[in-house]
Structure 1
């Protein structure tokens, strides 16, 4: 798979759940403690995302964090594969921004219709799938 496609997948996953792509990348590595920490962070985010006190992902601070994390995840993946980092980082950041707004719209749409929890769970699944595809060793 092309490194820019991988970057887009990882960035889109970051827009949905910011820690999930980093956990997927850590799962591919050899550092046991990094795997444990990244998986715990991703799991915590999956839970925290459903809480009413969780701020909107499109507020400036959370959005900035998602954009930076999308760039970092895509750049790490590109570097791990021996590719240039700049292009994938830019694609990852852009995809994270777009997916953040798309996810916020999706959740508002579903919540307005009484489907907040199913929509959140579907978004969890999409984030995990995108991160898994983007970080796969193939």
Structure 2
């Protein structure tokens, strides 16, 4: 079974890449594997199917909007702040669901999101310059990587 810390880091990284994706995958995970510890907490809304669907819709919309010209950089103050909060939500949800301290998950998810926001911002720019491809094409590749990391982060025990 994947340790809780690995799930929180993975979802934090994904959130740094796509701000809505970490909470969407966290909510999907806990809605499919309900936890009494999460249900009784202020984060209980994250395991509701309606929340999961709403967050999935937001994440899908972000995949489209990310490629639009004029979309602000993820490392702008508002972008980083939003990603830090979204990463914190994803991490706290995963930790609370496992009966661990939500604040630890929030810290791990938030820090991972901020670090990944910067890392993937500069990696995306450098990749586009080096390969001489449009930013939207590199963004599409980044989407695939983000979905892959998210899927691995919530996979069940075999």
State the TM-score, normalizing by the size of structure 2.
0.80
Larger radius of gyration: 2
Q: Which runs of 4+ in 1 moved over 4 A?
A: none
Q: Deviations over 1:10-42 (max 9, x none)?
A: 100000001111111222316332232111100
Aligned residues: 138
Question: Does residue 155 of structure 2 align to residue 119 of structure 1?
Answer: no
How far did 1:124 drift? 0.6
Relative contact order, higher structure (CA 8 A, sep 6+): 1
SS in structure 2 of the partner of residue 96 of structure 1: helix
- Alpha-carbon contact 1:4-1:87 (below 8 Å) kept: no
Q: 1:53 to 1:115 in 2, by over 3 A?
A: closer
2:114 aligns with: 97
Q: How far apart in 2 are the matches of 1:35 and 1:7?
A: 17
SS in structure 2 of the partner of residue 58 of structure 1: coil
Q: CA RMSD in A?
A: 1.6
- Alpha-carbon contact 2:13-2:116 (below 8 Å) kept: yes
- Alpha-carbon contact 2:21-2:59 (below 8 Å) kept: yes
5+ unaligned residues in a row in structure 2: which ranges?
A: 32-46
